[in-house]
Structure 1
């Protein structure tokens, strides 16, 4: 497995995105379907206010995969750096809201779990198959 000890959450995300550049989906890089929502991090108050006016929302998952699979509209992944990291109340609420709307929203702790989650999701049939096993929740 990948050596990812001591990585920050940002570094975990960068490793996952770099991995996605080397994967293909429908003859395109998987990276083309994967998006980061800039919700985390600390910002100057003016920049934070601007982002809020532009629709940035607290608790929204870090990665957005816009590929419909297994009856889901797409995959939303809240990344955590490792097994010791926990969700905020707002992150839990957003994940539940997205799951209620037909997305698969999950938490992945670390590089390996994030990549495994994406791979498992992509291996779902187009409709009817669920991710009951093998995906981080």
Structure 2
């Protein structure tokens, strides 16, 4: 019996981006978790790089929210860091909807519900 392959966070996030592009939902990736050389990391920190900021943002105001932030995680074996939890709490207090989604299906479901809000 073969072991099921769990998609990487990159694969899950790519599916979410494709879905939003097809639906014409504005979305962008915040490249905080990307792997960079030491020089690039130092430069990025000087330019405002912050650990823990969610991966994706949909800059569409809906209901009582200014926009939607999504921290993407793999379906299994993923943990949310302390910095990520702090950013999610801060963003929620500032009038954004900030959530953690485990897998592309969960993220797409949340996006669909968010976009339907009036």
SS in 1 for 2:40: helix
How high is the TM-score relative to the length of structure 1?
0.80
Equivalent in the alignment of 2:67:
74
2:110 maps to 1:110: no
Q: Is the 8 A contact 2:6 2:76 kept in 1?
A: no
C-alpha separation in 1, matches of 2:65 and 2:40 = 34
* TM-score (ref. length: structure 2): 0.92
- Looking at structure 2, the residues matched to 121 and 104 of structure 1 have their Cα atoms a distance apart, in angstroms, of 9
Paired residue secondary structure (2:48): coil
Alignment deviations for residues 70-121 of structure 1 (CA, whole Å, 9 cap, x no partner): 1100000000011431100000000000001000000000010010010010
Larger relative contact order (CA 8 Å, sep ≥ 6)? 2
| Number of equivalent positions | 115
Please give the secondary structure, in 2, of the residue aligned with 1:21: helix
Q: Which runs of 5+ in 2 are unaligned?
A: none
Which segments of 5 or more consecutive residues in structure 1 lack a partner in the other structure? 24-28, 126-137
Q: Secondary structure at the match of 2:31?
A: coil
Name the CA distance, whole Å, in 1 between partners of 2:76 and 2:10: 15
Q: From the superposition, tell whether residues 6 and 83 of structure 1 become closer, same or farther in structure 2 (CA, over 3 Å).
A: closer
Q: RMSD over aligned Cα, in angstroms? A: 1.4
Poorly superposed stretches of 4+, deviation over 3 Å: none
